Structure 1
């Protein structure tokens, strides 16, 4: 007799098909009564348990079954787990889990699908994966978890790999929307919403090769994304990271070799991207829009490569305290800087060949070590700029009143405006400041008293600051003062007139 190892391919396929048919035929659908755990205990692997509308206690699943809810609610007390899974190939869908120490809790489980559930009010995490690989967590809502004590998670992974976390909402949680800690790798975190947590997505300690893509991470009280303690080789792609309380993306303590590409990073209060502490270098930051933060990009590590980004409407567009490269080799080029107005009359790697090439002829200087050799040309994007100004009269006798007017365009609102004079003849001469008062939409007016000024030519310099701290200072014109007949400036000054 031939052993089964030597069956023909046709006979082997027939046997497998017969086995699958028998397995499918043996699967049952069980309608749970008031005791959901009893129905789960009755089921065998492959069965489907249906839970009708109603309130059930916490359950534990230790076999490969499908658990489907239709208006079913799980309520557990603060020391219980709402739904504990300790088996592979489990499906849980259609439940609302209210309360419990953990909501839906997988331990050592593989190939499970957790979808279309709502988990809220748990002491620690809403959905947790502990040493659980190759699972799908999709279309769940995990809000308002971990609000007591230290504050915890909407969705939490620990020592878990190759999981898909997709199309979930993890907002209003005590600390983290989605958290990976520690040693989580090759997970895909895609198209989720994490808002109004302390951190939208948080990775801590040796989390590598994860994909974070097309998520909305907004209005979190600290960071949109934070990676700390050796989180490396992750990809942060095409996310909306906006209006977070401190920083959009924060890499810290050895979190290097990450790719940050194609993200919209806007209106984060202090930093768009912040990289600091320890050897957190060798990250690639490319093709992002970074705008409306106090600092656009802040780095104090080495080896980061930053190019083809649009950096605009930031009070300090870039601060580099390490040794980093702010451009790619020609002809890829550098970054667009909204505050940089350059000319483009030359091209080539050395910007010395006649003819424009889309890059400014002169570098954009960041500091004495850092510069963008190939700043990308484009229309300046200035959140605060002087539109028009006038000095009337521009030539007057000493003692006359001179009116100074300015019109400002400000995205963030003007916080303060002033003007001052500077003598073009006597550098040591004390010159007065001019108080500027608002005179209409964007218009400011002030009066210069010239009685104690000497004859000569003066520049009028306007200074303005917006509510975010962006400043502009420009010379708006010149004033010529001529002596009055029979009047001496020195004599008047000595008498205090």
Structure 2
């Protein structure tokens, strides 16, 4: 009887163990390196990557990789690697790489989880590579481009010591990525650039020793990024010369922008909020903290004043959205045309291979921008603010997007207005006009339309 009871108890324990296993399955990952060969084959046989057409390669299972190895090595041009949400995991301590792309053309890598590597995705000497919508988790460097050009890194979620590193590379676009550093690290960059003519646009970058870092870099454009809670928001370091830093939110950093042995940089249309020090600049270097007139300068939360005049010397009656008195930072940087309200890069419009930015400076809330050059030369947007307040909007339109030599008709709530200021130059139309709110509502939403009288020249 005792033997039977012991047997029954043992069976129950086994069943309980099976039930536990069924309820909480062990995660399984294929281990080793997957090669996508130049002739289209996938090796080794049984690896969890497959294709039916030699163009789109689909990951079918999680992959793990150990010491000094890569998870997936791409040796074929003109392909798409679709991770389908599966992971490629490795070890920072064992110097693994998640994906390696060397001397390739026209490769897209998307929808992967790449976790725990020394370098998550490593691209070397390649052209027209697209890295999109991947989750890069706890890699020492999430994405690295070396001597790789005309490529795009877009829409990735990134955590780890360093986010995106561009080395000796030209004409790349880094756009709409969300990057979060580890916080307590003394090394690491959100986006680091050593190269020329790269566009860093509309990324969110937080919690790094340096949010964006440029060195040995020229002709790059850092535009419309949200750069917050870093030790240094933007670091223009040795030989980072003749770059443009514009349209960024630079907030709650110990230093907003640090400049060391770098010159000729143009810094304007940025919004500086609550930084320990907005600008830290090395003596003896020449940089520019406004775009000249009428392009204007930056918005500084610690600087205020009247906007009663306009013109290059701010001595002609009539407001232009620029504070009449120049702003000098603690480090001696001078913005001759500080903005009277924050800058808003509303929309980036792509036509063919060209990108156009519609920009608005306003002390009101702007929403619902609408522009479609195919429908005609006009744009419209909504303006809202507390009832009875006096507001203004300054709109800048690239002439290569919407062009006219007859001027513009500006309407508020469908009614044409004449009390506006035109400040156009050879590249843009710039108009400043009042945007009054409706008197009988707590908050109002008005449609302000800037409408041309002839067809656009595209």
* Distance in 1, Cα, partners of 2:114 & 2:29: 20
State the Cα deviation string for residues 247-302 of structure 1 (Å, max 9, x = none). 110111x111100001001111x21101011x211100111100001111111311
* Structure 2 equivalent of residue 338 of structure 1: 301
Query: Looking at both structures, which has the greater relative contact order when contacts are Cα pairs under 8 Å and sequence separation is at least 6?
Result: 2
Is structure 2 residue 324 aligned with structure 1 residue 361? yes
How far apart are the structure 2 equivalents of 1:371 and 1:57? Answer: 57
Greater radius of gyration (CA): 1
Residue 179 of structure 2 is aligned to residue 217 of structure 1: yes
Contact 1:126 1:153 survives alignment (8 Å): yes
The DSSP-based 3-state class of the residue aligned with 1:170 is strand
1:417-457 CA-partner distances (Å, limit 9, x unpaired): xxxxxxxxxxxxxxxxxxxxxxxxxxxxxxxxxxxxxxxxx
User: Deviations along 1:313-343, whole A, 9 cap, x unmatched?
Assistant: 1111112332011111222210000111222
SS at match of 1:327: coil
1:153 to 119, 129, 136: 119
* 1:287 match: 247
Contact 1:153-1:179 at 8 Å conserved across structures: yes
2:163 to 186, 200, 203: 200
Give the equivalent residue in structure 2 for 1:481.
Answer: none
3-state SS of paired residue (2:136): coil
In the aligned structure 2, how far is the partner of 1:260 from the partner of 1:57?
Answer: 39
Give the TM-score normalised by the residue count of structure 1.
0.56
Show structure 1 runs of 5+ residues with no match: 1-52, 75-82, 146-151, 380-497
| Counterpart Cα distance in 1 of 2:225 and 2:292 | 22
Residue 136 of structure 2 is aligned to residue 170 of structure 1: yes
Task: Map 1:365-404 onto structure 2 (within 5 A).
Answer: 365-366=328-329, 370-378=333-341
What secondary structure sits across from 2:62 in the alignment?
strand
Q: CA shift at 1:129, angstroms?
A: 0.5
**Equivalence for 1:121:** 90
Distance change (3 Å), C-alpha of 1:309 and 1:353: same
Measured in 2, the distance between the counterparts of 1:134 and 1:375 equals: 44
Structure 1 residue aligned with 2:313: 350
1:131 to 103, 113, 116: 103
The alignment covers a number of residue pairs equal to 298
Aligned-partner SS, 2:163: strand
- What CA deviation, in whole Å up to 9, does each residue of 1:126-161 have, x standing for no partner? 11101122111011110112xxxxxx1111111111
Q: Verify: 1:271 aligned to 2:224, yes or no.
A: no
Q: Which of 184, 193, 201 is the equivalent residue of 2:148?
A: 184
* Alignment CA distance shift 1:357-1:54 (3 Å): closer
Aligned in 2, Cα 1:355/1:325: closer, same or farther, shift over 3 Å? same
Query: TM-score scaled to structure 2, two decimals?
Result: 0.60
Q: What SS does the aligned partner of 2:61 have?
A: strand
Q: CA RMSD in A?
A: 2.7
The answer for the alignment partner of 2:207 in structure 1 is 243
Distance in 1, matches of 2:124 and 2:50, equals 16
Residue pair 1:61, 1:84 contacting (<8 A) in 2 also: no
Per the TM alignment, residue 170 of structure 1 is displaced from its structure 2 partner at its CA by: 1.1
Gaps of 5+ in 2: 1-27, 343-458
Is the deviation greater in 185-194 or in 54-63? 54-63
Is 1:92 paired with 2:61?
Answer: no
Distance in 1 between residues matched to 2:175 and 2:32, nearest whole Å: 36
Shift of 1:92: 3.3
In structure 2, the residue matched to 1:474 is none
